[in-house]
């Protein structure tokens, strides 16, 4: 699916497999391959804008230029204004918090908190305890501009010096992230007796992080790191499944990807909704893949997370869990080793194709939802689009069935490696249009047009439905 660069998307899996400095410019991001719906859940990445003054006018030929002395009288020297001083104070607080996390120094962390903000101080103490087990290789903040003014009641409560900053929090997990995972926070600063502190993170739409929701447990596998607020026994249950899924993905996609992944397991579906910043459609979702693109300009993802919906996942049997994790980790592999989006039917159909490899289920069984519609004359008449995978708009199982059948048909007729080449060719195209890139790939890889293939696919689904 193609969306504007500043509109985040998220990947999901069906629950049933059967004022200071100028604001930073957001990194251009390839949308995440959608699994069952277009979910808005990813924090925008950002890079600094460099501002330069206009060049001085050139001196006229043959005329001397005026030269200023290197020293200036004290009364003419520039001094930071109040806004600059408060931004500098905030940056010092943010740097202290970064050092505190990386140095496991809770006292230093709490020293940045307003002594009068008792509830916030208690919550920040708990947040620090919650995140202490996460193996960060980097944890940092960057000031991203002044937020809107405080409300009158809040200003009376906090005092005249209080102000709110937009801040981008970056972190990397050691051994897994090639680029930072980023979230936006709104931090309120106050001055007490000449010293600045942080007083709140609720005067704006701060993105919740896992450690805001509870104590984070960490379990390592050979290829996956499982982190979450679920109990440790539950976290352990995902390790072997995740490691095995990475092996299955590699058998189809190849070894040219990091073959590592981070699984996030919240304790409840409500917590998952908080992390994704949505509540609708979660009952149809068993897992979701979220992340930003790498800052190296490659177009690949460097810090993807597979977030599990514990309520939906618990309803799955062993086969369902296998399909879900393999499907999700297919997205992780593809996003880590390609540079352009593809139409959603291909990304979702291919992930399901890999997910169902080695599973002893017939196509009429797996695609029963779509085939029932075909028999009623209500099946797809064109390849599924983004809206068909949105759980807040529709029942999404038929779209998955239809996309899976399309990819399975390609593998049947041209071979599995041809299906992989088709995907890789479209997902590394530089034409800038996913539909055009895939149309060109059909011709160059398969020797047919997408229109001709679509007719064959529709006939194939009618044949399955009628037999």
* pLDDT per residue as tens, the chain (467 positions): 222 233 333 444 555 444 333 333 333 333 333 333 222 222 222 222 222 222 222 233 333 333 333 343 444 334 568 889 999 999 999 999 999 999 999 999 999 999 999 999 999 999 999 999 999 999 999 999 999 999 999 999 999 999 999 999 999 999 999 999 999 999 999 999 999 999 999 999 999 999 999 999 999 999 999 999 999 999 999 999 999 999 999 999 999 999 999 999 999 999 999 999 988 889 889 999 998 877 666 778 989 999 999 999 999 999 999 999 999 999 999 999 999 999 999 999 999 999 999 999 999 999 999 999 999 999 999 999 999 999 888 999 999 999 999 999 999 999 999 999 999 999 999 999 999 999 999 999 999 999 999 999 999 999 999 98
Contacting residues for 94 by C-beta, under 8 A, at least 6 apart: 140, 141, 142, 143, 167
Contacting residues for 450 by C-beta, under 8 A, at least 6 apart: 438, 439, 442
Say if residue 77 is exposed, middle or buried (CB neighbours under 10 Å; 0-12, 13-18, 19+): exposed
Contacting residues for 80 by C-beta, under 8 A, at least 6 apart: 88
* Structure token pair of residue 243: 């490691």
Closest CA to 352 of 342, 338, 366, 364: 366
Instruction: Please compute, for residue 353, the number of CA atoms within 13 A of its CA located in the half-sphere on the CB side.
Output: 26
Contact between 209 and 125 under an 8 Å Cβ cutoff? The reply is no
Residue 103: CB atoms within 10 A of its CB come to 10
275-278 long-range contacts, CB within 8 A, separation 24+: 275/41, 275/208, 275/209, 275/210, 275/213, 275/307, 276/10, 276/39, 276/41, 276/307, 277/40, 277/41, 277/207, 277/208, 278/39, 278/40, 278/41, 278/392
According to the model, what pLDDT value does residue 94 have?
A: 98
* Structure token pair of residue 145: 């501009």
Contacting residues for 1 by C-beta, under 8 A, at least 6 apart: 9, 31, 33, 34, 38, 341, 343, 344, 347, 386, 434
Burial 78-101 (b: 16+ CB within 10 A, else e): eeeeeeeebbeebbebbeebbebb
Output DSSP code: residue 77.
Answer: S
Contact between 306 and 263 under an 8 Å Cβ cutoff? The reply is yes
**Is this model's pTM higher than 0.85 or not?**
no
According to the model, what pLDDT value does residue 297 have?
A: 65
* Structure token pair of residue 72: 């200036």
Contacting residues for 148 by C-beta, under 8 A, at least 6 apart: 164, 204
Give just the sign of the alpha carbon dihedral 212, 213, 218, 219: negative
Closest CA to 171 of 213, 207, 214, 147: 207
* Structure token pair of residue 375: 């028999």
Closest CA to 356 of 17, 62, 14, 9: 17
Task: Say how far apart CA 327 and CA 262 lie, in whole Å.
Answer: 14
Task: Say how far apart CA 210 and CA 229 lie, in whole Å.
Answer: 7
How big is the CA angle at 237 (ends 236 and 239), to the nearest 5 degrees?
65
Instruction: Please compute, for residue 392, the number of CA atoms within 13 A of its CA located in the half-sphere on the CB side.
Output: 9
Output DSSP code: residue 10.
Answer: -
According to the model, what pLDDT value does residue 435 have?
A: 97
According to the model, what pLDDT value does residue 77 have?
A: 39
According to the model, what pLDDT value does residue 34 have?
A: 32
Contact between 348 and 388 under an 8 Å Cβ cutoff? The reply is no
**H/E stretch holding 167:** strand 163-173
- Backbone φ and ψ for 307, nearest 5 degrees, come out as -100, 125
Instruction: Please compute, for residue 170, the number of CA atoms within 13 A of its CA located in the half-sphere on the CB side.
Output: 19
Beta-strand pair 224-228/261-265: parallel
According to the model, what pLDDT value does residue 5 have?
A: 32
- Backbone φ and ψ for 46, nearest 5 degrees, come out as -150, 150
């Amino acid at each position: 699916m193609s969306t504007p660069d500043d509109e985040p998307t998220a990947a999901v899996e069906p629950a049933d497999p059967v004022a200071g400095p100028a604001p930073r410019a957001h990194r251009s991001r390839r949308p995440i391959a959608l699994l069952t719906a277009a979910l808005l859940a990813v924090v925008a990445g950002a890079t600094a804008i460099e501002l330069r003054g206009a060049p001085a006018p050139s001196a006229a030929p043959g005329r001397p230029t005026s030269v200023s002395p290197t020293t200036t009288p004290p009364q003419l020297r520039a001094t930071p204004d109040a806004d600059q001083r408060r931004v500098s104070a905030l940056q010092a607080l943010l740097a202290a918090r970064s050092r505190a996390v990386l140095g496991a120094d809770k006292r230093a962390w709490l020293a940045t908190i307003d002594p009068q903000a008792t509830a916030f101080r208690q919550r920040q103490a708990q947040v620090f305890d919650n995140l202490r087990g996460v193996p960060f290789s980097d944890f940092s903040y960057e000031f991203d501009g002044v937020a809107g003014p405080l409300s009158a009641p809040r200003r009376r409560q906090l005092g005249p010096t209080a102000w709110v900053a937009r801040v981008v929090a970056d972190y990397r997990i050691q051994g897994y992230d090639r680029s930072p995972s980023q979230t936006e926070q709104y931090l309120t600063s106050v001055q007490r007796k000449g010293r600045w502190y942080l007083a709140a993170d609720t005067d704006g739409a701060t993105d919740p992080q896992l450690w805001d929701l509870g104590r984070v447990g960490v379990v390592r596998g050979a290829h996956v790191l499982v982190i979450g607020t679920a109990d440790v026994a539950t976290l352990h249950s995902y390790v072997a499944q995740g490691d095995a899924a990475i092996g299955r993905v590699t058998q189809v996609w190849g070894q040219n990807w990091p073959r590592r992944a981070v699984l996030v397991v919240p304790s409840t579906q409500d917590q998952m909704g908080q992390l994704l910043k949505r509540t609708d459609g979660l009952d149809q979702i068993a897992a979701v893949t979220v992340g930003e693109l790498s800052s190296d300009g490659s177009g690949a993802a460097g810090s993807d997370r597979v977030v599990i919906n514990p309520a939906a996942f618990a309803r799955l049997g062993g086969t369902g869990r296998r399909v879900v994790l393999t499907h999700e980790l297919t997205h992780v592999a593809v996003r880590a080793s390609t540079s352009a989006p593809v139409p959603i039917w291909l990304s979702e159909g291919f992930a399901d194709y890999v997910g169902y490899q080695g599973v002893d289920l017939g196509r009429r069984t797996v695609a029963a939802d779509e085939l029932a519609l075909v028999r009623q004359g209500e099946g797809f008449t064109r390849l599924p689009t983004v809206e068909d995978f949105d759980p807040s708009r529709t029942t999404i199982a038929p779209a998955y069935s239809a996309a899976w059948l399309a990819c399975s048909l390609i593998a049947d007729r041209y071979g599995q490696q041809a299906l992989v080449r088709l995907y890789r060719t479209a997902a590394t195209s530089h034409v800038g249009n996913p539909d055009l890139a895939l149309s060109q790939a059909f011709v160059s890889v398969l020797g047919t047009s997408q229109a001709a293939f679509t007719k064959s696919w529709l006939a194939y689904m009618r044949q399955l439905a009628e037999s």
